[in-house]
A and B are shown apart, each in its own frame.
Chain A
Amino acid sequence: MTDIRKAFDELPPPLPDARDSETARAIWLRARMTAIVEDDARSRRVGHLRFASAAVFVAALDAIALLVVASLAFHR
């Protein structure tokens, strides 16, 4: 019966690549750049949401004010 464990043990060890350090630095830069781009997109989305919510608030306030004025005029 074949000894699988022995067969795996006989495999050559993992070989380091001379460019590993360089690749790691490139990955670090890519991750940083991706984070910056994502942050930028996120803050732009948040800005749009804030503007939209302010617009809704003003519209709602406007409608409430009109209702109050109309109701006061009606009761007079």
Chain B
Amino acid sequence: MNEQELEELYCATAPRLRRYLGRLVDDPDDLTQETFLRYLRAGYTAAGEDRVRILFTIATNLARNAWSRKKPQATTADPVAATDPIERIDLIAALRNLSPRERSLLWLTYAEGYDHREVARVTGMAHASVRVLLFRARRKLARLMERER
């Protein structure tokens, strides 16, 4: 990959990654840049949507490391949301009450449109686990959104 290709990939994908990471960690900008840096250093040769999936996988792993570093606050608050222009939306408020893993599963499925198999690949979880956890997360989110209204 050359500089021009990276610039094109970054401009096309960074906004999606930032939005995803914004739901998971305090500093989505930093982790977005780190994601691309790791992608470059690993020397992947994938193309098209595969590249995006790899980037989401790296981002998920980085976010997971960030959660494990600050576990106590991880499930209680979403610091990004305080300054988020879309905070008023019920969904965002409800997502803040889910665990980072649940947010990640729901976001990849509904915002990114990945199917169970792709979500399993990105998160490194078993396909069956994704189905079960996603079902629970969906039910929890629906309940929370009902309560928000």
Please report A residues at the B interface, Cβ cutoff 8 Å. 1-2, 4-5, 7-12, 14-17, 20-21, 23-28, 30-31, 34-35
Once A23-B10, A24-B10, A24-B36 are accepted as A-B contacts, the answer to whether A7 and B15 lie under 8 Å apart by CB is: no
- Name the distance in Å between A48's Cβ and chain B's nearest Cβ: 24
Question: Which size bracket describes the interface of B in this complex?
Answer: 20 to 34
Please report B residues at the A interface, Cβ cutoff 8 Å. 3, 6-7, 9-11, 14-16, 18-19, 33, 36-37, 40-41, 85-86, 89-92, 106, 110-111, 138, 141-142, 145-146
Residues of chain A lying within 8 A (CB to CB) of residue B90 = 7
Determine if A31 and B15 form an interchain contact, defined as CB atoms under 8 angstroms apart: no
Which 9 residue pairs of A and B lie closest in terms of their CB atoms, listed nearest first? A24-B10, A14-B15, A8-B110, A31-B40, A24-B7, A7-B91, A2-B145, A14-B19, A2-B142
